[in-house]
A and B are shown apart, each in its own frame.
Chain A
Amino acid sequence: MNKARAHLLLIEDDPQIQRFLATALDAQGHQLSIAGSGNEGLRLAALNQPDVMIVDLGLPDISGLEVIRRAREWYRRPILVLSARDRESDKVAALDLGADDYLTKPFSIGELLARLRVALRHRAEQDNGDSTSRIENGTLLIDIAARRVSRDGVDIHLTPTEYDLLTTLARHRGKVMTHRQLLREVWGAAHVESPQYLRIYMRTLRQKIEADPAQPQVLLTEIGVGYRFADSSDD
């Protein structure tokens, strides 16, 4: 695992969490700026252009969602969201506004680092204009150039929609995608309010590529939020 030094911006008002993250992220070799309020965070982001923003949704001045909306007007790099446990709707709203991933409080530093790694890799891919032509997860192989999917070397037949769904998730591997995001990318903007399509296609897709759909290894469900293509480099 390569330890890229990154410049991170934490927008979080709780001093204890600031302290704990500063210690942990410094130990990982990252450079960290800290803002105690939304407006200060936006100012620091504009000033420093950090590699990743970590935004708490509950801020004293403006809401975290507002910070994301304003930042996304000019900030293209990854944003991670920190939220309380029972606020699924906030998470979905944050993701739909353009956040890349979320962490539910309380979280362990391990989870945060994993999410950071995914975010930084996506950022690197974006910067390089690099689109991977082969994605692997365990024994599953997706050959985008050849439009082929195989498991254990055996080809799997997918309908065009199933293929689109799988590759959309795979391109964002390791990152959660909300129902709306998937519907927009695969079915088009007109279908964002029809999550039942998505569930049915996910089900058949799982039956085709997972050994046991009840214990999925690749296509993971984030209850109440969306789906995530497991990032094999994570484990």
Chain B
Amino acid sequence: MPVPASEQRPDPDALLARVQSEQLRANRGRLKIFLGASAGVGKSYAMLEAARREAAAGVDIVVGYVELHGRRETEALLEGLEILARQSFEHRGVNLTEFDLDAALGRRPQVLLVDELAHSNHVGARHPQRWMDIEELLDAGIDVYTTVNIQHLESLNDVVAQITGVRVRETVPDHVFDSADEVELVDLPPDDLLERLREGKVYVPERARQASEGFFRKGNLIALRQLALRATADRVDAAMREYRDAHAIRKNWPSGERLLVCIGPDALSTRLVRTARRIASALHAQWFAVYVETPALTRLPQAARDRVLRSLKLADRLGAETANLGGESVAAELLAFAAQRNVGRIIVGKPLRNRWYDRLRSSLVDQVIRESGAIDVYVITAEGDDSSPQSPRRVPRSSRWPAYIKGIAVILFTTLACLALRHQLQPTNLVMLYLLGTVLVAMRFGRGPSTVAAVLSVGLFDFLFVPPYLSFAVSDTEYVITFGGMLATAFIISSLMARGRRQTTVARHRERRASELYSISRELSRARDLTELAAILRQHVLVAFDGEATVLFPDADGRIQDPESFCDRGLSTRNQVRYPVPGNDLGIAQWSYDHRQPAGMTTDTLASADAIFLPLNAPPRCISVLGLRPRERRQLDIPEQMQLLDAMVNQTALAMERVQLAESAHTAGLQAESERLRNVLLSAISHDFRTPLASIIGAASTLRDSAPGRLGTAQQEGLLDLLLGEARRMNRLIGNLLELTRLNSGNFSLKRAWLPPEEIIGAVLTRLRGALADRKLAVDVARDLPLVPCDEVMIEQVLTNLIENAIRHTPTTTPIDIRARAEAGSLVVSVRDHGPGLAANEETRVFEKFHRARVEGAQGGFGLGLTICKAIIEAHGGTITAQNATDGGAEFRFSLPLSVPEMRAA
């Protein structure tokens, strides 16, 4: 099919991914690996030479760690280069020196030299492997030069072992090698190498000399050289492909290939995993490693189960997606998973088994091949040196004597019942009773006891109830069929029962994990702040894991804070036991926070710790860190449990991110609101202050500048009244503004006292006597009102504002009514005028800041008076409302509670 022209362009998603990975790379340091086929080819020498060239070019280059092995020509190259001091420590009485990661991070050179990528660090170092140190250096933006021999590459480990007969223990994951920015092959023909070896120029430890003699055979060296050349060529090939992708010189479409490898409890699995990884990388395929746990496999000894976990972990490290499936048939589960994930190829191992067994029961390989349909199946053969696969059947089971004894007791009891009923029942029905007993045993105690019970039942039935009695001899041969049937039925039933029980257990575990996840997500969605979320996470982690857990938050500077606790089984806050977080645990938590990666137990970083720390990431940030100290390390090795933990942590991180976003949105909203208020305030001040000032200046200058006698007495008095009135208006404006500022500052406190309501009303009326002179006042205050607990100064302010409001907004001769009543535990005071009333929809808006009853009205003034009233009344726990009275005019009512919890009537 011809490719449409438009699709010749690079795929936008792929482009985006490339841009992102390039950005990531831009911040990350560059890794250059000097690759050799074996020791002695001159990697360190080549590296130092390169370093000298860079240093001569003015690059800030530092030697972090170089293994000299006493070679003088190499040592000479170190001259003039800056060398980082090594960290020294004591291990079992021997002084050792080691690369100092923290010193390197502190020094931050442009380029750092660290020899021996595959080196294993000493116990207690931050990372168990040097390549992890180097990852951290790269993350910190430092370029690294390092060296490695081809035999240390993880996926080549088996191949190298096959060639040389020596298994290399220190390995480097392939992704480290693959992600290197540059690989320089340091090549030396085998003959030259052997020559150097003879001259003693190759360092070989004294005690390994014997073993190494076999290693440095010409055949081995040729093979290793070939491997090294091929690995380099593959990289070049990959680089070429990347280039073609980037420039859309692509003719072949990406395979989208998916590969699945099935892991078993045998030692073959690790080999399977490595092979799968090689095939996967050759195909550029995504790959899965799957373990299917059948009921039979659940009975494996711990060692075999641990081997499975190790294989899964290895696969995970090599880049596979791992899964632990549960089911009755390995083949069926495997194929179902393959179909679901659209897998094209399956890799299975072909274990060496007894031939007769294979014929009797079709092997897994046969089943998979038979049912695989379109899927390709690769069968990998076990090698001789892989330890023979252990059939779960041969595994000695843990002693379960009580179950057997109980099973036998059930059958003995059945026998007693049969003895009692033997005259009423036919022997065939007694058989039914025995069958019932056997089924009961199978249900309660499992397969073993039920087998014993079945055999015992047949024996006892024959002995006691089949003539001749009290003998195992059988007079009627028909009974042989009865025995056969009885035995077979008992076996089948008990086996079915046992299987059912096991499936139920597996299902229950799954069910529990699912419901755990469901309940945590439900609770998280309800929580509204970080502490609440942290408590929920802690609680659920402790339900799933036995141990102690804590959630640590950073302070403003990003330093993780000690919450003073690792909380024990804190299902409720009451029975928490608090443990201090040890200082170095805090350090691990800090590392985890800074690097947004898990750290501590079972991780790659500081694995010797007794707790694991998982960051709660909300990219690009980390919000907090979960610390978990399990009572047993094994809990963290179970993939499902870790997946559950990861899922919980991820869900909580999402919830925390949501809460933080909501908070910042709220803050932003508040800021916008206060910004708006400031603007309104500024324009209000400029308008409302200038208006009275204009009148004052105008009136005063008229009085000042008029020639004597030009103004009549009445005119003069008019101007003077105007002056006074406007000045008072400004005074009121400033007073309101100050009052509102004080109320809004939030640090005012009510000075409550028990006051007679009429006293406040009287005081306000006295004060406003002048302004109210022309008004007809109707004051209706009930006699014997209870004392009201309030801040007298503030309530006076409210009443003054309300009455002044009424005066200002109504014609000068209309009356004003003031009423006070006690109603349902409150004092209700109302101020009612007989003016035009409030405009529609103004009932609530009048209390808003800077709202004006009539736009630009001559009465002007900030709409602050009522806002102040509302703030004061609400601070007292009361309410204030505005409405139009039925027969005209506006009515403002406020209520004050007659009792407050903290005040008792005197």
Q: Which residues of A contact B (CB under 8 A)?
A: 85-86, 88, 106, 108, 194-196, 199-200, 202-203, 206-207, 212-216, 220-224
Q: Is B759 an interface residue (CB 8 A)?
A: yes
Contacts of B735 in A (CB 8 A): 85-86
A224 to B760, CA, bound (A): 10
Interface size on B, residues (CB 8 A): 30
Contacts of A196 in B (CB 8 A): 753-754, 906
Q: Is the CB of A199 within 8 A of B793?
A: no
Closest 5 CB pairs of A and B: A221-B763, A196-B906, A214-B781, A214-B758, A224-B793
Q: Is the CB of A203 within 8 A of B762?
A: no
A200 to B787, CA, bound (A): 9
Q: How many A-B residue pairs have CB under 8 A?
A: 67
Contacts of A223 in B (CB 8 A): 760, 763, 792-793, 796
Q: Is the CB of B759 within 8 A of A215?
A: no
Contacts of A200 in B (CB 8 A): 756, 787
Contacts of B793 in A (CB 8 A): 88, 223-224
A196 to B788, CA, bound (A): 12
- A193 → chain B closest CB, angstroms: 12
- If A106-B727, A196-B754, A213-B781 touch, whether A202 touches B759 (CB-CB below 8 Å) is yes
Q: Is the CB of B731 within 8 A of A221?
A: no
A216 to B769, CA, bound (A): 11
Q: Is the CB of A221 within 8 A of B766?
A: yes
Q: Is the CB of B766 within 8 A of A220?
A: yes
Contacts of A195 in B (CB 8 A): 753
Q: Is B896 an interface residue (CB 8 A)?
A: no
Q: Is the CB of B759 within 8 A of A221?
A: yes
Q: Is B105 an interface residue (CB 8 A)?
A: no
Q: Is B761 an interface residue (CB 8 A)?
A: yes
Contacts of A86 in B (CB 8 A): 735, 738-739, 742
Q: Is the CB of B765 within 8 A of A215?
A: yes
Q: Is the CB of B755 within 8 A of A199?
A: yes
- If A86-B738, A221-B766, A224-B792 touch, whether A214 touches B761 (CB-CB below 8 Å) is yes
A196 to B761, CA, bound (A): 18
Q: Is the CB of B763 within 8 A of A213?
A: no
A195 to B753, CA, bound (A): 9
Produce 1/0 per residue, B635-650, CB < 8 A to A: 0000000000000000
Q: Is B779 an interface residue (CB 8 A)?
A: yes
A92 to B143, CA, bound (A): 75
- B829 → chain A closest CB, angstroms: 11
Contacts of A194 in B (CB 8 A): 906
- B572 → chain A closest CB, angstroms: 45
Interface residues of B in 577-606 (CB under 8 A from A): none
Contacts of B792 in A (CB 8 A): 223-224
A88 to B763, CA, bound (A): 15
Known: A86-B735, A214-B779. 9 other contacts (CB 8 A): A106-B731, A108-B724, A200-B756, A203-B758, A213-B762, A214-B765, A215-B762, A220-B763, A224-B792
Across the interface, name the chain B residue whose C-beta is closest to A105: B731
Contacts of A213 in B (CB 8 A): 758-759, 762, 781
A215 to B792, CA, bound (A): 17
A203 to B761, CA, bound (A): 13
Q: Is the CB of B755 within 8 A of A214?
A: no
Across the interface, name the chain B residue whose C-beta is closest to A88: B793
- A139 → chain B closest CB, angstroms: 18
Contacts of B761 in A (CB 8 A): 214
Interface residues of B in 748-799 (CB under 8 A from A): 753-756, 758-763, 765-766, 777, 779, 781, 783, 787, 792-793, 796
Q: Is the CB of A216 within 8 A of B754?
A: no
A203 to B757, CA, bound (A): 10
A22 to B781, CA, bound (A): 45
Contacts of A212 in B (CB 8 A): 779
Q: Is the CB of B762 within 8 A of A214?
A: yes
Contacts of A207 in B (CB 8 A): 783
- A145 → chain B closest CB, angstroms: 30
- A200 → chain B closest CB, angstroms: 8
- B514 → chain A closest CB, angstroms: 64
Q: Is the CB of A216 within 8 A of B787?
A: no
A199 to B781, CA, bound (A): 17
Across the interface, name the chain A residue whose C-beta is closest to B727: A106
A196 to B783, CA, bound (A): 19
A196 to B755, CA, bound (A): 8
A200 to B784, CA, bound (A): 11
Contacts of A214 in B (CB 8 A): 758, 761-762, 765, 779, 781, 818, 820
Contacts of B763 in A (CB 8 A): 220-223
Contact of A199 (CB < 8 Å), options: B738, B754, B777 = B754
A221 to B766, CA, bound (A): 8
A196 to B738, CA, bound (A): 30
A46 to B652, CA, bound (A): 77
A203 to B755, CA, bound (A): 9
Across the interface, name the chain A residue whose C-beta is closest to B763: A221
Contact of A203 (CB < 8 Å), options: B759, B766, B777, B779 = B759
Across the interface, name the chain B residue whose C-beta is closest to A196: B906
A190 to B20, CA, bound (A): 81
- B783 → chain A closest CB, angstroms: 8
A202 to B777, CA, bound (A): 24
- If A85-B735, A106-B731 touch, whether A199 touches B796 (CB-CB below 8 Å) is no
- If A85-B735, A88-B793, A106-B727 touch, whether A215 touches B779 (CB-CB below 8 Å) is yes
What are 21 inter-chain pairs, A to B, with CB distance below 8 A? Answer: A106-B727, A106-B731, A108-B724, A194-B906, A195-B753, A196-B754, A199-B754, A200-B756, A203-B758, A203-B759, A207-B783, A213-B758, A214-B758, A214-B762, A214-B765, A214-B781, A214-B820, A215-B762, A215-B777, A216-B766, A220-B766
A200 to B785, CA, bound (A): 12
A224 to B796, CA, bound (A): 9
Contacts of A199 in B (CB 8 A): 753-756, 759, 787
Contacts of A108 in B (CB 8 A): 724
- B898 → chain A closest CB, angstroms: 15
A221 to B762, CA, bound (A): 7
A224 to B753, CA, bound (A): 10
A221 to B777, CA, bound (A): 19
- If A85-B735, A223-B796 touch, whether A203 touches B756 (CB-CB below 8 Å) is yes
A221 to B793, CA, bound (A): 11
Contacts of B787 in A (CB 8 A): 199-200
Contacts of B753 in A (CB 8 A): 195-196, 199
Across the interface, name the chain A residue whose C-beta is closest to B754: A196
A203 to B724, CA, bound (A): 36
Contacts of A88 in B (CB 8 A): 793
A85 to B754, CA, bound (A): 23
Across the interface, name the chain B residue whose C-beta is closest to A207: B783
Across the interface, name the chain B residue whose C-beta is closest to A216: B762
A55 to B759, CA, bound (A): 29
- A226 → chain B closest CB, angstroms: 11
Contacts of A106 in B (CB 8 A): 727, 731
A42 to B532, CA, bound (A): 63
Contacts of B758 in A (CB 8 A): 203, 206, 213-214
A127 to B256, CA, bound (A): 113
A199 to B742, CA, bound (A): 28
Contacts of B754 in A (CB 8 A): 196, 199
Contacts of A203 in B (CB 8 A): 756, 758-759
A215 to B760, CA, bound (A): 10
Contacts of B818 in A (CB 8 A): 214
Q: Specify which of A196, A213, A222, A223 lies most central, judged by the most chain B CB atoms within 10 Å of its CB.
A: A223
A34 to B787, CA, bound (A): 46
A220 to B906, CA, bound (A): 23
- A181 → chain B closest CB, angstroms: 17
A123 to B755, CA, bound (A): 34
Across the interface, name the chain B residue whose C-beta is closest to A197: B906
A203 to B906, CA, bound (A): 15
A213 to B787, CA, bound (A): 14
- B767 → chain A closest CB, angstroms: 8
Contacts of B766 in A (CB 8 A): 216, 220-221
A222 to B759, CA, bound (A): 10
Across the interface, name the chain B residue whose C-beta is closest to A84: B738
